[in-house]
Amino acid sequence: MDAIILQILNGLDKGSAYALIALGLTLIFGTLGVVNFAHGALFMIGAFCAVTFSKILHSSYTVIDETKTDFLGNPLKVDMTYVEKWFGNAAGGTILDWAVPLSILFAIPVMIIIGFVMERGLIKHFYTRPHADQILVTFGLAIVLQELIKYFYGANPIPTGAPEMFRGSFDFGALLGFDANTIIYPYWRLVYFVFSAVIIGAVFSFLRFTTFGMVVRAGMADRETVGLLGININKRFTLMFGMAAAVAGLAGVMYAPINSPNYHMGMDFLVLSFVVVVVGGMGSLPGAVLAGFLLGILESFASMNEIKSILPGIDQIIIYLVAIIILLTRPRGLMGRKGVMEE
């Protein structure tokens, strides 16, 4: 039982990332009708926003410490951060410690701008082209972004820590009446889950309770009619692209302490997120969120040793297996509606 609870918890954080990425994918697909294979790269760029912001905060000047020597025997050069110089050691230290959550403020404008530039500069020209062309161009873009990141940041993962107070892990076992130390879960993954729930809630409320959101939803349902009513739907859709990019970016920022960011992390999530979108139902936002969590949890279960001893290798194919079963029984996905992506 404790192992099952642990795997459910485990699935939640992975599911959170899948859900956030799939949410953005569905938004773009539903509004613009574009299959955006560069969406994983946006997630990765989000994580590197955290890395970059943390680097900016850690920008430093060099002081030569005559009492110590470096590896060549020369006097040691010690880096002192400006933040600590300006704010004092205590306050400066706290700012540095909270670099990842603070980078949300940095990431939102950056991601929206990147989304705008991507949409206006490249993807706009592919609206009327076949889906295959869209996939090729966005996939190419993803590779370019990935190689750019590798050029500037190197191929190895870059450790980006959570704030000190979230570094430990939480003993769920004791809380639920199990033996202590049986269900342990890192604090930061809980933070990630709560954070993604808030973002998902915010996106849904935005679409449901604002006029802007209402127009966008109407556009998703019937673009032509909304256009005929004299509403400039394209402009709003561009904004939605920026918003989807920001959602993916924020998912990446907060993911940085879970797994050290590397240039390839976007691709790792992208393919699975597409499966999530298809399973959830093309164009269905609640479907994407539901499928994200569902597949995240299933993936966790599949890597339990008890299950792997019966079905070896199941952890690597479970998501695709479930996708096949769901598409066979519900060809439109879990919450897909009639008429979406059907000519």
Partner 1 sequence: MSNNTFTRRGVLRTGAIAGAGVALPTIFTASSAAAYTNEPMGSSVTLGFNVPQTGPYADEGADELRAYELAVEHLNGGGDGGMLNTFSSDALQGNGILGKKVEYVTGDTQTKSDAARASARSMIEKDGAIMVTGGSSSGVAIAVQGLCQEAGVIFMAGLTHSNDTTGKDKKANGFRHFFNAYMSGAALAPVLKQLYGSDRNAYHLTADYTWGWTQEESIVAATEALGWNTVNTVKTPLSATDFSSYIAPVMNSGADVLVLNHYGGNMVNSLTNAVQFGLREKVVNGKNFEIVVPLYSRLMARGAGENVKGIHGSTNWHWSLQDDASKAFVKSFGTKYGFPPSQAAHTVYCQTLLYADAAQRAGTFNPCGIAEALEGFEFDGLGNGKTLYRAADHQCFKDVLVVRGKENPQSEFDLLEVVEVTPAEQVTYEPDHPMFAGGALGECNPGS
Chain contacts with partner 1 (rule: CB under 8 A): 2-3, 6-7, 10-11, 13-14, 68, 70-72, 76, 147, 150, 154-159, 161, 167-169, 181-182, 184-186, 188-189, 258-260, 262, 264-265, 268, 299-300, 303-305, 308, 315-316
Q: Are 29 and 135 in contact (CB under 8 A)?
A: no
Tell me the closest approach of the beta carbon of residue 253 to partner 1, in angstroms.
Answer: 17
Q: What are phi and psi of 80, to 5 degrees?
A: -110, 130
* Minimum distance, C-beta of residue 154 to partner 1, in the bound complex (Å): 5
Q: Which residue lies nearer to partner 1 by CB, 211 or 305?
A: 305
| Minimum gap (Å) between residue 268 Cβ and partner 1 | 5
Nearer to partner 1, 72 or 90 (CB): 72
Nearer to partner 1, 190 or 341 (CB): 190
Q: Between 181 and 225, name the residue whose CB sits nearer to partner 1.
A: 181
Q: Give the number of other Cβ atoms within 10 Å of residue 126's Cβ.
A: 18
Supply the minimum distance, in Å, between the C-beta of residue 116 and partner 1. 29
- Residue among 234 and 303 whose Cβ is closer to partner 1: 303
In this complex, which beta carbon is closest to partner 1, that of residue 78 or of residue 214? 78
Nearer to partner 1, 258 or 279 (CB): 258
Nearer to partner 1, 315 or 341 (CB): 315
Which residues 6+ apart lie within 8 Å of 70 measured at CB?
A: 76, 77
Q: Report the alpha-carbon distance of residue 245 to residue 160 in Å, rounded.
A: 21
Question: Least CB distance from residue 124 to partner 1, whole Å?
Answer: 31
Q: Would you say 13 or 84 has its CB closer to partner 1?
A: 13
At its nearest, how many Å lie between partner 1 and the CB of residue 130?
30
| Nearest-approach distance from CB 316 to partner 1, in angstroms | 6
Nearest to 315 by CA among 301, 324, 298, 302: 302
The minimum distance between CB 53 and partner 1, in angstroms, equals 17
Phi-psi region at 261: left, alpha or beta (left = phi > 0; alpha = psi -120 to 50)? beta
CA distance linking residue 5 with residue 337, whole number of Å? 33
Nearest to 319 by CA among 10, 11, 61: 11
Query: How near is the Cβ of 228 to partner 1 at its closest, in Å?
Result: 47
209, 207, 210: which is closest to 221 by C-alpha? 207
Task: Check: CB of residue 44 under 8 Å from CB of residue 143.
Answer: no
